[in-house]
Amino acid sequence: MKHTLCTITIFIACIFSLFSQQGYVPSELNIQAREEFRNAGLGIFIHWGIYSMLGDGEWVMSNRDIHYKEYGKLAGGFYPAQFNAHQWVKDIKASGAEYICITTRHHDGFSMFYTQYSPYNIMDATPFKRDIIKEIAEACQQEGIRLHFYYSLIDWGRTDAPRGRTGVGTGRPTWDGNYEPYFSFMKNQLTELLSNYGPIGAIWLDGDWDMPRDFNWKYDELYMHIHQLQPACLIANNHHLKPQPGEDIQIFERDLPGENTAGYSGESGISNLPLETCQTMNRRWGYDINDLNYKSADTLIQYLVSAAGRGANLLLNIGPRPDGTLPDLAVERLHQIGEWMKKYGHTIKGTTAGDISPRTWGVTTRKGNKLYVHVIQQEDNVVYLPLKIKVKKAICLNDGKKTDFTQDKSNGVILQLRPTNEPVNIIELTTYEK
* Burial class, 225, CB count within 10 angstroms (exposed 0-12 / middle 13-18 / buried 19+): middle
Confidence of residue 24 (pLDDT cuts 50, 70, 90): confident
Give the pLDDT of residue 4. 42
Give the pLDDT of residue 388. 86
From the options 3.20.20.80, 3.20.20.70, 3.40.50.720, 3.10.129.10, give the CATH code of 27-351.
Answer: 3.20.20.80
Give the pLDDT of residue 434. 63
Quickly list H helices, 194-321: 219-229, 297-308
Q: Could you give the CA distance from residue 223 to residue 150 in angstroms, rounded to a whole number?
A: 14
Q: What is the mean pLDDT of residues 58-86?
A: 99
Report whether pLDDT(226) > 50.
Answer: yes
Give the pLDDT of residue 8. 41
Q: What is the mean pLDDT of residues 142-161?
A: 98
Spatial CB neighbours of 54, under 8 Å, sequence gap ≥ 6: 60, 74
Report whether pLDDT(19) > 70.
Answer: no
Give the pLDDT of residue 389. 92
* Strand positions, DSSP E, 92-212: 99-105, 146-152, 202-206
CATH, domain range 354-431: 2.60.40.1180
Give the pLDDT of residue 376. 98
Report whether pLDDT(22) > 80.
Answer: no
Range from 6-10, 44-48, 292-296 carrying the lowest mean pLDDT: 6-10
Sheet with 362-367: strands ordered across: 352-353, 362-367, 370-375, 425-431, 391-396, 401-402
Residue pair 366/354 in contact (Cβ under 8 Å)? The answer is yes
Beta bridge partners of 103: 150
Query: 198-210, pLDDT tens digit by residue?
Result: 999 999 999 999 9
Give the pLDDT of residue 18. 35
Q: What is the mean pLDDT of residues 136-160?
A: 98
Q: What is the mean pLDDT of residues 75-103?
A: 99
Q: What is the mean pLDDT of residues 168-195?
A: 97
Please state, rounded to an integer, the average pLDDT across all residues of the chain: 94
Query: 234-292, pLDDT tens digit by residue?
Result: 999 999 999 999 999 999 999 999 999 999 998 889 999 999 999 999 999 999 999 99
Confidence of residue 20 (pLDDT cuts 50, 70, 90): very low
Q: Where are the domains of the chain?
A: 27-351, 354-431
pLDDT over 70 percentage in the chain: 95
Give the pLDDT of residue 354. 97
